[in-house]
Structures are given as structure tokens and as C-alpha cells.
Homo-oligomer: A and B are copies of this chain.
Amino acid sequence: MTYRPLGPKARLLMGPGPSPIHPRVYGAMAMPVVGHLDPQFVALMEETKELLRHVFQTGNELTLPISGTGSAGMETCVLNALEPGDAALICVNGVFGARLREVAARCGARVDVVEAPWGQDIDPEDVRRALRGSEYKLVAAVHAETSTGVLQPLSDLVAAAHEAGALFLLDTVTSLGGVEVDVDGWEIDLSYSGTQKCLSCPPGLAPITLGPRAREALGRRTHPVQSWYLDLTLLQEYWGAARVYHHTAPVSMNYALREALLLVREEGLQARWARHRDMHAALVRGLEALGLELVVSEAIRLPTLTTVRVPDGVDEARVRGELLETHNLEIGAGLGTFKGAAWRIGLMGEAACAESIARLLAGLGSCLSAQGRSADVSGAVRRALE
């Protein structure tokens, strides 16, 4: 086997993640690695926790990046919240709700499910009904379903869980840093995210936060957390004042995350959410001008990931392939129920800008016309950016 020097062709990342990276974040990753117990790294850990609290909008002390990707964050929250004998109610309306159920089922908890069809949100009344007369320790839901493009309304869901005495766990993988997430204001007990979505950082870490009720429950456990690597009773000693050695933190990834979070802070949360909202609206105008239909109804449409119906007679994989190879632009395929029937277009972090939208509309229009569909690209770009 011969190995060529590494030199990946840059892609405009408009799929379900990873998203484009700011040059300052690349620069941070190339900074000299120091030891994971070096005072310089310890200071950076403190800064990173503080910056994560800002983006999660929380005062939670137990807020830190898990040394794995978003799914490791999910597993961390679930395994630390549940132990054998507990019961959990999981809201499932896409791939990531289903993954939550699967992860919970593997830790010896009883798992029940409230479902909604793909592309729709969970009905809080269904949750209330399921909670009635049963003792659940945890209710879990996905804020931004990356597989469908649905933004879940939360206030009734959280209220229902708390009235029933359950903790509320929220997946914020595709919302954190792109749409409002207010952990303290919304009384979210546990949340996890990923770095490679709206934070525009490479994949590799999973920010998590646990509030006081979740920490109390952690302290009352009678079984050790099933995973040693993801055990927050140990991780809080490493990331806390004690600095008890646990594992070697991924130093370069933590440099990257700190820099990405600084960029979020410099932009300001409100401005950043507004940018994602505005750019999403522009994208929708442009897609509709190309004659395309969206999967999700407007009221629950996720700004950071838009699902688009594949028009009849169009070879959707060919469109994605051509976009990637000819336009160096990545969009996502449909997953599960939407496989072959929808595209997933991400506007996350650095991708949420006018230039990306123009390039996407130009590329998509050109790929559609190659399959015999008329597409007025210049009109669509004008409509989008008006």
C-alpha cells in the first residue's frame, strides 16, 4: 500500500454535521500539546467549563466536555441517571430518540416509549398519559431531531415530567449554539450535545451539563455507574477542584472546543440564534423558489437542519454525489423512514451564511436540471437573499 501525503479537498459542509470550522479553531488544534495535569491545561479546563455554562445558559457546576462524540454524551447522561430497577420514558420521533431508548435499555432500566410519526413533534398529552400512575425516574427527549428536522416544543413536556417527579433529559446535539437552549430557565436536569454541529468545532467531544436534581439522584445511586469511562462520580473529581487523575483528556480537541466557544461568546447567543433563524428563512425561500417542498411544517421546523422532499423521478443519491464531487458541497441523505425520500440540509455554525446558501442553491439547481427538472437558480438565489 502506498500512502499519499494527507490533503483532503475542502468541502462546504451542509449536511447533518460535521459543520465548517473557523480558521481560529484549526489554529488552536495545532497549538503545542501540554500534559493533561499541566497548570496551563487545568486553567483551560476551567475556562471551557465556564464557556460551556454560557452556551447552555446554566450555572450548573457539573458542566464539562465528555471525551467522546455526541453519542458518548448521550450514553453518559443516560447511564448516570439510570440504574437497574429504574424506569425511563423516552420520546421517540426519529433516529436519536430511538438511540436514547436503545442506550437506556442496555443499562437494566425498564424503558417505555412515547412515539410520534417521523417529521412530527411529540404531543405532551401523550407524555402526560404515559406518566399517569407509573413511577418514572427519567423522561428523555430530543430537542432538535437531526434525522427529521423537527424542533420539539419543550415547556409542556418538561412540566409534565417534573409534575410526575421525573428528571428531564434533553438531547441538544443539533440545537446548542444554533437555536435557543436555556437549561436553567427551562429547568432541564440533564443535557448533552456534540461539538461538530452548531458549535462548528471538529467532532470528538460531547458537552454535558447536570443540574442539582440530577446530581442528587447521582448521589443516591445504589449501583456504580455501568461505565467506568463515563462515570460522572469520577469525572467530577477530575474536572473539579480535586483534579483526581481519571483519563488523559484529548488536549488538542479541548483547545479546539475552547476556541469555538469563544467565537460563540464573541458573536453573542442572541445574535447567533438570529443568524441561524434568518439564514434558515432565506434557505427556505430559495428552496421553495426552486420548486422544492419541505418535510416539516413551519411551526416546528428546525432552523439548523432542513429536510427537503426529493421530487418524484429524481435520483437523490446522484444529486448528492454530484453536489459532492462537482461542487465540493456535502448535504445529508435521509435516514430511516426518510431514506431515499428526503435530503437533509444543515445550516450549522459557520455554514449559516448567505454565501453557503447561494452556493447550495446554485449546486442543487444545477444537479436538478441535469435530471431534466427546470430550475431558475438566479431567481432562487435572489429570492433567498432578498
Known: A106-B227, A247-B70, A252-B29. A35 touches B11 (CB 8 A): yes
A14-39 CB mask vs B (1 if < 8 Å, else 0) is 01011011000011111111111011
Pairwise interchain contact B69-A226, C-beta atoms closer than 8 A = no
Pairwise interchain contact A251-B29, C-beta atoms closer than 8 A = no
Pairwise interchain contact A21-B8, C-beta atoms closer than 8 A = no
Pairwise interchain contact B31-A7, C-beta atoms closer than 8 A = yes
Pairwise interchain contact A250-B106, C-beta atoms closer than 8 A = no
Docked pose: A358 CA to B330 CA in angstroms: 50
In the complex, A75 has a CB within 8 A of chain B: yes
Pairwise interchain contact B18-A251, C-beta atoms closer than 8 A = yes
Known: A68-B67, A249-B203. A11 touches B30 (CB 8 A): no
CB-CB < 8 A to A33: which residues of B?
Answer: 13, 18, 20-21, 196, 202-203
Known: A203-B251, A250-B69, A250-B204. A245 touches B32 (CB 8 A): no
Pairwise interchain contact A324-B203, C-beta atoms closer than 8 A = no
In the complex, A102 has a CB within 8 A of chain B: yes
Pairs A-B, 8 closest by C-beta atoms: A204-B250, A10-B32, A202-B252, A71-B247, A203-B248, A26-B30, A68-B68, A30-B30
CB-CB < 8 A to A69: which residues of B?
Answer: 67, 247-250
CB-CB < 8 A to A248: which residues of B?
Answer: 17-18, 69-70, 194, 196, 203
Stretch binding the partner chain, chosen from A256-264, A302-310, A362-370: A256-264
Docked pose: A194 CA to B248 CA in angstroms: 10
Pairwise interchain contact B72-A9, C-beta atoms closer than 8 A = no
Tally A residues with Cβ within 8 Å of B. 74
Known: A1-B47, A47-B1, A196-B248. A75 touches B26 (CB 8 A): no
Closest beta carbon of chain B to A198's beta carbon, Å: 14
CB-CB < 8 A to A203: which residues of B?
Answer: 33, 36, 248-251
Chain A positions near chain B (C-beta within 8 angstroms): 1, 3, 6-11, 13, 15, 17-18, 20-21, 26-36, 38-41, 44, 47, 50-51, 67-72, 75, 99, 102-103, 106-107, 194, 196, 202-204, 224-229, 245-253, 255-256, 258-259, 262, 265, 324, 330, 335
Known: A102-B228, A203-B249. A32 touches B11 (CB 8 A): yes
CB-CB < 8 A to A51: which residues of B?
Answer: 3
Docked pose: A67 CA to B28 CA in angstroms: 20
Docked pose: A20 CA to B35 CA in angstroms: 10
Closest beta carbon of chain B to A356's beta carbon, Å: 15
Known: A18-B35, A67-B69, A262-B3. A103 touches B228 (CB 8 A): yes
Docked pose: A238 CA to B167 CA in angstroms: 33
Known: A226-B107, A228-B106, A247-B71. A32 touches B18 (CB 8 A): no
Pairwise interchain contact B27-A30, C-beta atoms closer than 8 A = yes
CB-CB < 8 A to A246: which residues of B?
Answer: 71
Pairwise interchain contact B227-A227, C-beta atoms closer than 8 A = yes
